[in-house]
């Protein structure tokens, strides 16, 4: 009791030094300022209150919301996390997810959104944001699993149609994608319409057709998420690598964590033997998709080119352990074993390569020429 009373006395003394208002008055003023849209003043008052009463999750949540509204997402995230340490609340998890989503941190957004969905399975906003986050991380099938039941129950929600249609197109399910996006196509011409058409054509490997629509989308709205990334990918797949780099750089100016832009610029820099620069982009791609074997393979190739054979060896051995059918990784591992004069290991890998090559040729006759889709494979020795 004595300590509690002393704490209250100290708090009152501090408030007296900072502000003549009582804590309750200061908090009331902060909320009023927040409601009036005077966010910087509200943030100041929330912070003053929390300096004395740091264990007030509702106030931290309010502070996080005010910070997010002013674009200070990194600070908002910290406040939401501190609030959640004191009180678990689906609304707080949603606010944290939205802050992650706004900063293109889709992996962490997914973690929080799944928590909210567990508490409120029918929240359409949460389902749409979750599916869109899965699309951004390349997990199109998960996005489809989330939104397909929503679409079947009500196909009139254009946001659901757009995200689901995008996921289906990118998953190569052209007929279902067409069914979902047809109502969107009937509307006025828009960047979103050309983006959908372009990504659908890209998934179908119609790279020339995709480029036409994606260019139109980028011209109509260069700030549309991923439009510059997809333009770059279509150009890259059509062999226009130098022009593609400019589009990837535009995408990264909007979203520094875009996976495809980072990995493609990394590949282009690797081709130019700018290995240190290439690693920066490849590592950034890996940070957005931790564990991705295609990116790790490219990093291993850079390490090989730099003469860092042991580092490359450790990574390649781990990759083929996780993905035993990864032909190109076995090819590189065989090469590295022979370079290190480990003939027995090199011969073993060579045998694996021959077996996997025969399997690939049996499934894909076109691969007999060694053409593993020149335009797009990120697993090749580019």
Q: What's the token pair of residue 329?
A: 């990784």
Q: Please report whether residue 134 resides in a domain.
A: yes
Range scoring the smallest mean pLDDT among 255-264, 297-306, 361-370: 361-370
Q: Please report whether residue 151 resides in a domain.
A: yes
DSSP string, 153-174: H-TT-HHHHHHHHHHHHHTT-H
Number of domains in the chain: 2
* 126 and 83 belong to one structural domain: no
Give the CATH number for residue 154.
1.25.40.10
Torsion of CA 113, 119, 122, 126, to 10 degrees: -20
Task: Tell me what pLDDT residue 364 has.
Answer: 64
Contacts of 289 (CB under 8 A, 6+ apart): 107, 137, 138, 259, 295
* 38 and 80 belong to one structural domain: yes
Q: Please report whether residue 180 resides in a domain.
A: yes
pLDDT (tens digit, 9 = 90+) per residue, 184-219?
A: 777 778 888 888 888 888 877 888 988 999 999 999
Residue 59: name the closest of 86, 32, 27, 90 by CA: 27
Q: Please report whether residue 214 resides in a domain.
A: no
Q: Which domain holds residue 172?
A: 112-187
Q: Please report whether residue 324 resides in a domain.
A: no
Contacts of 185 (CB under 8 A, 6+ apart): 193, 196, 197
Q: What is the DSSP letter of 238?
A: T
Percent of residues, the chain, with pLDDT higher than 70: 90
- Ramachandran area for residue 70 (φ above 0: left; ψ -120 to 50: alpha; else beta): alpha
pLDDT (tens digit, 9 = 90+) per residue, 109-157?
A: 999 999 999 999 889 999 999 999 999 888 999 999 999 999 999 878 8
* 71 and 22 belong to one structural domain: yes
**Rounded Cα gap, residues 222 and 209, in angstroms:** 19
What would the mean pLDDT of 91-102 be, rounded to a whole number? 90
Last residue of a domain, one of 171, 187, 203: 187
pLDDT (tens digit, 9 = 90+) per residue, 158-186?
A: 888 889 988 998 888 888 888 888 777 77
Last residue of a domain, one of 153, 187, 221: 187
Q: Please report whether residue 80 resides in a domain.
A: yes
| 249 CB-side CA count, 13 A | 8
pLDDT (tens digit, 9 = 90+) per residue, 25-53?
A: 888 898 998 999 898 998 998 888 888 88
* 68 and 133 belong to one structural domain: no
Task: Tell me what pLDDT residue 180 has.
Answer: 87
Last residue of a domain, one of 54, 87, 120: 87
Q: Please report whether residue 280 resides in a domain.
A: no
Residue with tokens 């990194």: 74
Q: Please report whether residue 352 resides in a domain.
A: no
Residue spans of alpha helices (H) in 238-326: 241-254, 259-271, 275-288, 293-305, 309-322
Cβ atoms < 10 Å from Cβ of 99 = 27
Q: In the chain, where do the E strands start and end?
A: none
């Amino acid at each position: 009791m004595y300590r509690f009373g002393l704490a209250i006395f100290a708090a009152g003394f501090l408030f007296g030094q900072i502000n003549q208002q009582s804590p309750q008055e200061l908090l009331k003023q902060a909320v009023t300022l927040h409601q009036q849209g005077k966010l910087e003043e509200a943030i100041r008052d929330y912070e003053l209150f929390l300096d004395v009463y740091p264990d007030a999750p509702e106030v931290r949540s309010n502070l996080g919301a005010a910070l997010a509204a002013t674009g200070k997402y990194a600070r908002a995230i910290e406040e939401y996390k501190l609030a959640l340490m004191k009180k678990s609340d689906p609304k707080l998890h949603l606010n944290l997810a939205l802050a992650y989503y706004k900063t293109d941190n889709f992996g962490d957004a997914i973690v929080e959104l799944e928590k909210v969905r567990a508490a409120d399975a029918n929240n359409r906003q949460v389902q749409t944001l979750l599916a869109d986050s899965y699309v951004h991380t390349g997990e199109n099938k998960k996005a489809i699993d989330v939104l397909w039941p929503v679409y079947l129950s009500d196909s009139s929600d254009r946001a659901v149609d757009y995200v689901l249609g995008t996921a289906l197109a990118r998953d190569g399910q052209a007929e279902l994608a067409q069914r979902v996006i047809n109502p969107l196509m009937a509307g006025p011409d828009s960047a979103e319409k050309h983006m959908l058409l372009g990504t659908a054509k890209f998934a179908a490997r119609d790279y020339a057709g995709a480029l036409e629509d994606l260019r139109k989308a980028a011209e109509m709205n260069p700030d549309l998420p991923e439009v510059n990334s997809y333009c770059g990918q279509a150009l890259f797949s059509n062999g226009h690598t130098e022009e593609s780099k400019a589009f990837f750089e535009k995408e990264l100016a909007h979203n520094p964590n875009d996976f495809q832009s980072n990995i493609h610029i990394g590949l282009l820099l690797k081709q130019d033997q700018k290995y240190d620069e290439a690693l920066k982009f490849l590592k950034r791609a890996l940070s957005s998709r931790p564990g991705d074997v295609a990116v790790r393979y490219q990093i291993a190739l850079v390490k090989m080119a730099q003469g860092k054979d042991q580092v490359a060896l450790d990574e390649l051995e781990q990759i083929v352990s996780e993905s035993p059918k990864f032909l190109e990784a076995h090819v590189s591992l065989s090469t590295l074993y022979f370079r290190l004069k480990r003939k027995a290991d090199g011969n073993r890998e060579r045998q694996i390569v021959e077996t996997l090559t025969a399997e690939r040729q049996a499934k894909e006759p076109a691969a007999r020429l060694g053409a593993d889709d020149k335009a797009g494979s990120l697993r090749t020795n580019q």
